[in-house]
Amino acid sequence: MSRYRAIALLPVMAALSGCNLVVLNPAGDVASQQGDLVVISTLLMLLIIVPVMALTVLFAWRYRQSNNTARYEPDWDHSTQLELVIWAAPLLIIICLGAITWVTTHKLDPYRPLDRIASDKPVPAGAKPLDVQVVALDWKWLFVYPEYGIASVNEMAAPVDRQIRFSLTASTVMNSFYVPALAGMIYTMPGMETKLHAVINEPGTYKGFSSNYSGAGFSHMRFNFLGLSNQDFDGWVSKVKSAGGSLDRNAYLALEKPSEAVPVQHYGTVDPKLFNAVVNMCVRPGTMCMSDMAAIDRAGGLNAGGKAAAEAILRANTLAGFPDTQQTGLCTVAEAVEAAASNSGAVQRPTVTPISASATPAGPQRLANP
């Protein structure tokens, strides 16, 4: 525990001895630095609050009605020394808070990869972070581990002292991912992907939840975060794989339906493209991905370039054996081309250039063209 944190906790330790001060005493380095911010900011503000409260009591006592010895100055209206104290002290505190805020806003940016896993441990050279894809559903949490090809619902695990790189999104409404012992909260939003980098330094079971109201089942939107040794984490991965079950697009659509108080579920295999489809809101068959919509818009909407791009998607789906785009789950040209190539002898591989924001024909830069 740092010196600042210990000083701040001393006056309230007796009163709060039965409370769990996880925010001020977390198990993760990022959350620990954020806890230090809370303590430092509180101490700086107390430099003003405590003297003001003490002087309020002092003035009330000294200039009480019964004190006839107090100096009476009815014509007093200004003191340069007092004005300097009143303005200089808060100004210095604001400058200090501003400097701390500027530095830590960059240092603790959730999108910024970690440069240390503890106060005395830099990130080992060449160490690979653990990638975890998080989807906020109604009303449960889905965790996908692309490196291991597994997924779990309402349970997450990570090895101690290994950087975790979260990619987060939501299925319907905005939520907020928060594990107080690990790091600060980060929003999850449909059609968007947010990032969070964190590390857990002590083994244990920690609570995670949504800190943003998202509907009737919000209070049940909780999960356990397991901080494990490397050996125990490997055992957890093996247990999830042995649980069986496949999280493909159909399974995801069933899981996506609103439900409350969902027990822990494990999936031994996962569609590797599922998370990208969730972010682009095209898991459901017959839905075009937002990335393709953006590519068509970038190519000029329904003008020549954009029309050609849209026709390329339809043609690729047709060649892949899906003439009715309302009946196919393919959401990009690349997927259609892949499906066509794997379709044993039915059709030949189409010569269609996959659409992306960087490879579309030049055209007017606008969102739509009626």
Tens digit of each residue's pLDDT (9 = 90 or more) over 11-54: 655 444 445 678 888 889 999 999 999 999 999 989 989 999 99
Name residues whose C-beta falls within 8 Å of residue 178's C-beta, 6 or more positions apart in sequence: 184, 185, 186, 208, 209, 210, 211
- Rounded to whole angstroms, how far apart are CA atoms 123 and 236? 24
- Rounded to whole angstroms, how far apart are CA atoms 215 and 221? 10
The packing angle between helices 304-319 and 333-342, to 10°, is: 30
In terms of domains, do 9 and 138 share one? no
pLDDT of residue 302: 59
Q: Give me the number of domains the chain comprises.
A: 3
User: What are the Cα distances from residue 296, in Å, to 162, 198, 284, 300, 351?
Assistant: 40, 37, 20, 7, 18
In terms of domains, do 145 and 218 share one? yes
In terms of domains, do 225 and 365 share one? no
Q: Which of 94-108, 246-260, 284-298, 351-365 has the lowest mean pLDDT?
A: 351-365
In terms of domains, do 130 and 259 share one? yes
Q: What is the mean pLDDT of residues 253-265?
A: 94
Domain containing 129: what range? 121-279
In terms of domains, do 144 and 258 share one? yes
Asked which of 227, 260, 279 is the last residue of a domain, the reply is: 279
Answer yes or no: is 171 within a domain. Answer: yes
Tens digit of each residue's pLDDT (9 = 90 or more) over 41-87: 999 989 989 999 999 999 899 888 888 888 888 888 888 888 898 89
Q: Which of 149-158, 239-248, 355-364 has the lowest mean pLDDT?
A: 355-364
Percent composition of the chain: helix, strand, coil (DSSP 3-state, to 5): 40, 20, 40
Asked which of 219, 254, 279 is the last residue of a domain, the reply is: 279
